[in-house]
């Protein structure tokens, strides 16, 4: 039986997969007709499985959803008393930080060579790529400070709470993070670095205003990956799953392994938040060196994370639950109880959405319709081509793809800007525009469903990715 075609369309962009088999709840998918038509059967199988875990009370697919492991990338799973490790995956608390650069506009970055100089200055200060290489000008973190960061996240380095989705998640004081030696050994050397894959630093320009922004996209590096890997194996043993199905494991929060995972998961989340804010220092120095400007942090948010948060039910009452956002972004609208007393109370908090290194990014604000999507939106545009396939099939078009990046011309804030400067000799084929869905199509679903509105549409003018 096709699960995809068992889904029922209830509006132009909303499909519902009814409870089938072991499903504990129906699954809601927010997809345009074109995105639905191109969705894989495996995606629907994964959301069915996600809706079948013990303790699940909600399951959602975002418009950028695609096949993942354990649960789909671009999904939201809400539980009462269980934690699903795949709900934050291997890159625990991967997310985005945006900086705005006041009094700097498209006119200041028209010159290709000026942007190239900025890219070079950033590379002198911030490590990109896999491993633990650290540039000479990168800040050094003392071991004592690392322990504070694992427990207190951005608070440990003095970041204002209003600039973060959350400064930190509580962990028990007696937690011993050194017990996962492979994780702990990577924590210090990699703090303040971006990593490889789809992680990046990017200078962008607002399409309408011409304002310059800088986006940081990275996560918990080797510390988070090794932490997740350890608990996938331990969870599989506990649940009696074979090693090749370890990513299907789940834990109860009131069992010893569940409590241990929750503490370590939260320490990785704290690490990731602090990591993004530490990278800001190198970007500030590069902005000052090249443009004599100072940026300011706008907001920072995760999109691979499990959080215990206040759920607002259809009748307006609230309860606590665990919200797993795997490749999806928290989207609290104005008036959400969690925002009481914050600067975002009357507006909702920003949702920071990277797209591709060619098609750019967006800043959204949630609307009332967000409650029907688990107070969540997409985390990007979503892949439609796997990395290996991209490298194989796009190799013959590499020259064309390089030319697209070099020659693209856009009018940003009334100023024509040509080309996207990169720190790589060639465009990474597995990260080029052709492997991602159309970001505007994805964002259109959210706007049509009154889930969120696009406040800023931004386009890249310089990009740094891991070169290893």
DSSP calls for 85-120: GGGT-SSTT-EEEEEEEEEEEGGGG--HHHHHHHHH
Average pLDDT of the residues of the chain: 95
Rounded Cα distance between 110 and 462, Å, is 11
pTM for the complete prediction? 0.96
pLDDT tens across 265-287, in order? 999 999 999 999 999 999 999 99
CA distance readout (Å), 226 to 90, 221, 263, 467: 8, 9, 14, 22
Pick from 361, 378, 352, 357: nearest CA to 434: 357
pLDDT tens across 418-436, in order? 999 999 999 999 999 999 9
Query: What integer is the mean pLDDT of 280-306?
Result: 97
Return the SS3 of 220.
Answer: coil
Residues in contact with 296: Cβ distance below 8 Å, sequence separation at least 6, in sequence order? 99, 100, 101, 102
User: pLDDT-derived band of residue 144, with 50, 70 and 90 as boundaries?
Assistant: confident
What is the pLDDT at residue 279?
96
Rounded Cα distance between 142 and 389, Å, is 42
What is the pLDDT at residue 159?
97
The C-alpha R_g of the chain, in whole angstroms, comes to 21
59 versus 135: which is more confidently predicted? 59
Contact criterion met (CB below 8 Å) for 283 and 102: no
User: pLDDT-derived band of residue 316, with 50, 70 and 90 as boundaries?
Assistant: confident
Query: What integer is the mean pLDDT of 430-447?
Result: 96
Pick from 168, 142, 165: nearest CA to 155: 168
Whether 466 shows a pLDDT value over 90: the answer reads no
- Neighbour count for residue 99 (Cβ, 10 Å): 22
Residues in contact with 149: Cβ distance below 8 Å, sequence separation at least 6, in sequence order? 141, 156, 157, 191, 270, 271, 274
Pick from 76, 74, 72, 69: nearest CA to 90: 69
Element housing 275 (H / E): helix 256-291
Element housing 178 (H / E): none
Contact criterion met (CB below 8 Å) for 106 and 412: yes
Contact criterion met (CB below 8 Å) for 331 and 375: yes
CA distance readout (Å), 56 to 49, 262, 375: 11, 17, 16
Rounded Cα distance between 127 and 343, Å, is 33
Angle, CA 465 vertex, CA 463 and CA 468 arms, to 5°: 155
Query: What integer is the mean pLDDT of 285-292?
Result: 97
38 versus 142: which is more confidently predicted? 38
Rounded Cα distance between 280 and 106, Å, is 21
Whether 468 shows a pLDDT value over 60: the answer reads no
What is the pLDDT at residue 132?
65
What is the pLDDT at residue 268?
98
Query: Which residue bears the tokens 């985390």?
Result: 379
Rounded Cα distance between 352 and 276, Å, is 14
For the record, the structure tokens of 380 come out as 């990007």
pLDDT tens across 44-87, in order? 999 999 999 999 999 999 999 999 989 999 999 999 999 999 99
Q: Return the percentage of the chain with pLDDT > 90, whole number.
A: 92
Residues in contact with 297: Cβ distance below 8 Å, sequence separation at least 6, in sequence order? 97, 98, 99, 159, 163, 277, 280
Helix pair 221-239, 256-291: axis angle to 10 deg = 160
Rounded Cα distance between 250 and 258, Å, is 8
User: pLDDT-derived band of residue 395, with 50, 70 and 90 as boundaries?
Assistant: very high
What is the pLDDT at residue 130?
78
pLDDT tens across 341-390, in order? 999 999 999 999 999 999 999 999 999 999 999 999 999 999 999 999 99
Rounded Cα distance between 411 and 433, Å, is 19
Whether 129 shows a pLDDT value over 90: the answer reads no
Length of the chain counted residue by residue: 468
Taken in order 419, 197, 381, 311, is the CA torsion positive or negative? Answer: negative
Q: Which domains are seen in the chain, by residue range?
A: 4-465 (3.90.1860.10)
Q: Return the percentage of the chain with pLDDT > 70, whole number.
A: 99
Contact criterion met (CB below 8 Å) for 192 and 141: yes
DSSP state at residue 177: G
pLDDT tens across 191-200, in order? 999 998 899 9
Contact criterion met (CB below 8 Å) for 323 and 377: no
User: pLDDT-derived band of residue 467, with 50, 70 and 90 as boundaries?
Assistant: low
For the record, the structure tokens of 450 come out as 């009154």
């Amino acid at each position: 039986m096709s699960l995809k075609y068992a889904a029922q369309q209830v509006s132009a962009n909303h499909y519902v997969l009814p409870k089938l088999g072991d499903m504990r709840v129906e699954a809601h998918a927010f997809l345009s007709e074109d995105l639905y038509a191109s969705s894989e059967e495996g995606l629907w199988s994964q959301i069915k499985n996600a809706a079948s875990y013990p303790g699940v009370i909600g399951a959602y697919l975002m418009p950028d959803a695609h096949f993942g492991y354990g649960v789909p990338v671009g999904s939201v799973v809400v539980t009462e008393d269980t934690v699903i490790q795949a709900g934050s995956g291997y890159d625990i608390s991967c997310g985005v930080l945006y900086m705005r650069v006041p009094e700097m506009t498209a006119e200041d970055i028209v010159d290709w060579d000026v942007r190239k100089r900025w890219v070079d200055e950033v590379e002198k200060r911030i490590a990109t790529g896999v491993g633990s290489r650290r540039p000479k000008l990168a800040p050094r973190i003392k071991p004592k400070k690392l322990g504070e960061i694992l427990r207190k996240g951005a608070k440990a380095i003095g970041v204002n709470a209003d600039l973060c989705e959350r400064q930190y998640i509580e962990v028990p004081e007696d937690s011993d993070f050194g017990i996962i030696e492979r994780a702990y050994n990577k924590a210090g050397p990699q703090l303040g670095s971006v990593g490889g894959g789809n992680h990046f630093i990017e200078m962008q320009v607002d399409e309408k205003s011409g304002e310059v922004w800088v986006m940081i996209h990275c996560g918990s590096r080797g510390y988070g990956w090794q932490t997740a890997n350890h608990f996938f194996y331990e969870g599989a043993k506990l649940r009696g799953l074979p090693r090749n199905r370890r990513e299907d494991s789940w834990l109860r929060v009131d069992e010893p392994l569940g409590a241990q995972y929750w503490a370590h998961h939260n320490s990785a989340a704290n690490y990731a938040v602090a990591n993004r804010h530490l990278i800001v220092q190198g970007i500030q120095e590069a902005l000052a060196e090249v443009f004599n400007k100072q940026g300011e942090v706008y907001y920072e948010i995760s999109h691979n994370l499990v959080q215990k948060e206040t759920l607002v039910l259809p009748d307006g009452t609230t309860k606590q639950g665990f919200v797993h956002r795997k490749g999806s972004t928290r989207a609290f609208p104005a008036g959400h109880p969690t925002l009481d007393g914050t600067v975002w109370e009357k507006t909702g908090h920003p949702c920071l959405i990277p797209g591709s290194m060619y098609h750019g990014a967006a800043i959204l604000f949630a609307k009332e319709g967000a409650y029907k999507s688990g107070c969540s939106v997409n985390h990007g545009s979503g892949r439609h081509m796997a990395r290996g396939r991209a490298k194989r099939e796009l190799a013959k078009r590499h020259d064309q793809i390089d030319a697209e990046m070099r020659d693209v011309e856009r009018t940003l804030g009334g100023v024509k800007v040509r080309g996207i400067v990169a720190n790589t000799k060639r465009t990474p084929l597995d990260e080029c525009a052709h492997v991602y869905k159309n970001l505007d199509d994805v964002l259109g679903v959210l706007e049509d469903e009154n889930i969120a509105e696009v406040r800023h549409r931004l386009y890249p003018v310089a990009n740094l990715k891991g070169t290893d």
